[in-house]
Chains A and B, each alone.
Chain A
């Protein structure tokens, strides 16, 4: 496939606006301004573009949820808080082609009639925040942003907002809270952000990759876009392959290729000719797939049919040297650390899972542990929590326990009892001072 989103990778000085313009940049923005917001939304709707952030929700439909008659301001937010383990595609886009993102943000803002857009970028991406800010400054200088853009009487300002390092702020409502300067706690839905978003105003939140697709859809048309990939799963997708492969990296492929093709052809196969054991198809919060499921199609619907999700497209590959109990433990550590602590099942459950898995890894597993893990996961997912972080730890851990239960049982069979800490018996020294309350 000819590269679309990554066409600038390898081009010298690809970040500058001159290079971008020479490659036909900002043509989509000019065309969109001539089309009008409704036509832009319709074009994106027709392209069947689905959100690349993880949920795969149709982008055009998301835009159309913004109330048409809302009198006050509305906002577009570009989610560049790429924090999902195994995901590094947005960084790649911003690194080589930041103007693609700026143009996408501009077109999407125009489609929902937002005059202010925020790009929320994770705090660790200091370098890429600077790249975006430079790109925005260039675009503004050329008149692609600002007041009365190219005589269209449409105004747009884009602000880059850096996060402070919480995974949860990639969740759209926690992200909005963070933009507002508050603690990154996901909001209870409904109301959905399209109605009550940032600063209480209608807000659309799109992923960097989603927005990067938009200029291409406008320039080349919905039909071109939907000719790539499979029905309902259209367009190019960036797959980030990491783990035990020979050539890890970001690959742009049409949706619907199989994971076998991604891993074996593009990523050069499993390292050292070893056997594939398992892989996460879409970041560590997607249920794991085994080597037998490697022919699953890498698109939203095929993944859903296989009981997992495409997520962010972060393919994490494990070869046969990997102990799946330790994978589960690693996942649990990440989510226990990143749980915001707001709602009960996720706060208590993620930490509890981590404690159990730590104990099994330390060689002190108990026979009831796999079932306890499954029970915790069951009641931390499927609507038991405010945001999907509950599912994000529960689904991978329960899938690992279900698919690799024998590994757990083997460890547990060889386990020793947890050594009891001896509590020193101290003589009673009278009441402690300072506790007269």
Chain B
């Protein structure tokens, strides 16, 4: 364990730690552009030059391992400061400086470093014509990535990402010297299952994500820690949102699962979170659909539940552990209904963790492991069909997206036979067959935990606070979360998370043991009573990073 001094701060770090990470531990920021904690060290950008006492030349912060007794000067070294200033001048000499129209502004390492250190008295010596790459200023190099080569600082992070992480080696340098540019191999699109990560690791606006470009200034976004709903691997994400609109998912660091990566499939589910087809509870009687209040709806459903001769509940592997637990306790234990969790077959997904190992999944749901742990009957499509044919007076569908079979004409016919209660957010055929329809919000409006296929119980935090409250954005500006100026799909309206309606139903049905105030309380009971969750505490399940996280996120690009 080498102990060293960085700018007067003593710090002890693990052997092999480089100076950038050691300085981070000491609370000193060594700037960098090409270094990335999960990629190989190349020492190309040269901005991380530091002075080490006793060494005649400046050393690279990224490539120098911390050694015992080392005395490192970063901010306090005039030589290192001059070198950093010179490197910035080199990098900016040919940089377009188009920050006002660059989509990376606000999360650009080059801009951040300029703001942080560049001396206001410093004026560049560059008077030549700037290097440009005609034809490469706005080029779609793959389905999701737009390239602007003029902004590139040649850090090679994107190239190393495709070589070392996604493994496609799709990007490369072409040409030489000052004409070097990033490109795909001849005639091929940048078609990589994790292509948008190349834009993530890009420290500047040379690679940007097509879907997010120009939709929102990054400093306006709030980042809420969450878990990707795309498959059972359970990659950690931030939901980046503003005024109740989700703009994007970005990876949140977790060395055990997704390091700092996210696959395109998961990432581009972000847009779907803005869909809200149903805004208030509906009741269908005699072919008429009427909008009703929550009080009326809950009382009506409670009455149906009390009177039901037999109860079938189609739960879902997309629900949180807390919701599944409440469903199991309320419908299974108290009301003696049958519960099944259908699991659909999915496309194979994979993710590289921090150790470089691939995690694989073919399960498209984020929480089937949680359903299994809770001992709920997990069924496939055929099992679901048998379950529905089983016949019952009352059928509850907690999430119509649980299985494609639920949208089939066969299933709809079965649902129309008895009374059906459906909780839904997106347009779905089953919702039209429902006697009672209750709107639920998206992942961004809910909170709870998912259990990943590897068994990690991970929290996702509610991104949208209750209407009327005020967000403090990352820059400190206040923004009202007023529903009337919200998404193009309209305000989330009266949608309530499933866990809340289940506790409300428990209240209506007189089951005070299940009348919880929050998912945290549900989890506390699960952790106490359920072997699968024993010993876990809500507070330690991740998702506790600061909400103003985009500064935090900078160190991973």
Please give the residue numbers on chain A whose beta carbons come within 8 Å of chain B beta carbons, in ascending order.
166, 183, 188, 336-345, 347-352, 355-356, 359, 366, 368, 371-372, 375-376, 378-379, 382-386, 435, 437
Contact = CB atoms under 8 A, between A and B. Distances in A.
Interface string B271-309: 000000000000000000000000000000000000000
B57 interface: yes
Nearest to B177: A339
Given A166-B176, A375-B86, A342 B128 contact: no
Interface stretch (B42-50, B374-382, B511-519, B529-537): B42-50
Interface string B70-102: 000000000000110011001101100000000
Nearest to B181: A341
A371 B210 CA distance: 43
Given A341-B178, A344-B153, 8 more contacts: A188-B63, A336-B178, A340-B180, A341-B177, A345-B87, A347-B177, A347-B178, A386-B43
Contact of B154 (A166, A342, A379): A342
A418 B176 CA distance: 28
Contacts of B138: 435, 437
A351 B126 contact: no
Contacts of A375: 86, 125
Nearest to A351: B178
B156 to A, nearest CB: 8
B140 to A, nearest CB: 5
A345 B176 contact: no
Interface in B405-454: none
B179 interface: yes
Q: Which 6 A-B pairs have the closest CB atoms?
A: A341-B180, A379-B86, A383-B57, A351-B178, A348-B90, A355-B128
A368 B125 CA distance: 8
B177 A384 contact: no
B165 interface: no
A321 B363 CA distance: 78
Contacts of B58: 383-384
B173 A183 contact: yes
Given A341-B180, A351-B131, A379 B90 contact: yes
Nearest to B60: A188
A333 to B, nearest CB: 11
Contact of B173 (A341, A366, A371): A341
A253 B164 CA distance: 51
29 contacts: A188-B43, A188-B60, A338-B176, A338-B177, A339-B177, A340-B180, A341-B154, A341-B179, A341-B180, A342-B154, A343-B45, A344-B46, A344-B47, A345-B87, A347-B90, A348-B93, A348-B178, A350-B177, A352-B90, A352-B93, A359-B128, A368-B125, A379-B86, A379-B87, A384-B58, A384-B86, A435-B138, A437-B138, A437-B210
A368 to B, nearest CB: 7
A345 B177 contact: no
A344 B87 contact: yes
B475 interface: no
Interface in B317-367: none
A343 B210 contact: no
B119 interface: no
Contacts of A350: 177-178
B154 A437 contact: no
Contacts of B175: 341
A351 to B, nearest CB: 4
Contact of A341 (B57, B90, B176): B176
Most chain B C-beta atoms within 10 Å of own C-beta, residue among A345, A349, A368: A345
A356 B128 CA distance: 7
Interface string B22-65: 00000000000000000001111111010000000110100100
Given A336-B177, A359-B128, A343 B44 contact: yes
Nearest to A385: B46
Contacts of B128: 352, 355-356, 359
A346 to B, nearest CB: 8
A51 to B, nearest CB: 21
Nearest to A435: B138
Nearest to B82: A379
Interface in B182-218: 210, 213
A347 B146 CA distance: 24
B91 A344 contact: yes
B127 interface: yes
Contacts of B90: 344-345, 347-349, 352, 379
A350 B93 CA distance: 12
B540 interface: no
B120 interface: no
B17 to A, nearest CB: 16
Interface of B: 41-47, 49, 57-58, 60, 63, 82-83, 86-87, 90-91, 93-94, 125-129, 131, 138, 140, 146, 153-154, 156, 172-173, 175-180, 210, 213
Contact of A351 (B43, B125, B177, B213): B177
A306 to B, nearest CB: 20
Contacts of B57: 382-383
Nearest to B65: A190
Contacts of A341: 154, 173, 175-180
Most chain B C-beta atoms within 10 Å of own C-beta, residue among A166, A351, A372: A351
A383 B51 CA distance: 12
Nearest to B214: A437
Nearest to A378: B86
Contacts of B140: 437
Nearest to B44: A343
Most chain A C-beta atoms within 10 Å of own C-beta, residue among B127, B129, B177: B177
Most chain B C-beta atoms within 10 Å of own C-beta, residue among A348, A384, A435: A348
A339 B86 contact: no
B512 to A, nearest CB: 56
A371 B83 CA distance: 17
Contacts of A183: 172-173
Most chain A C-beta atoms within 10 Å of own C-beta, residue among B57, B125, B156: B125
A419 B387 CA distance: 83
Contacts of A376: 125
A343 B177 contact: no
Contacts of A344: 44-47, 87, 90-91, 153-154
A364 to B, nearest CB: 10
Nearest to B43: A188
Contacts of B153: 344
Nearest to A346: B177
A339 B43 contact: no
Contacts of B126: 352
B14 to A, nearest CB: 20
B85 to A, nearest CB: 9
A41 B140 CA distance: 57
A437 B178 CA distance: 27
Contacts of A336: 177-178
B178 A339 contact: yes
Nearest to A355: B128
A340 B44 CA distance: 11
B115 to A, nearest CB: 19
A345 to B, nearest CB: 6
Contacts of A386: 43-44
Contacts of A339: 176-178
A341 B174 CA distance: 10
A371 B94 CA distance: 20
Given A188-B63, A339-B176, A348 B94 contact: yes
A391 B489 CA distance: 60
Contacts of B172: 183
Contacts of A342: 42, 44, 154, 156
B43 A343 contact: yes
Contacts of A383: 57-58
A219 to B, nearest CB: 41
Contacts of B44: 342-344, 386
Nearest to B87: A344
A237 B82 CA distance: 40
Contacts of B41: 188
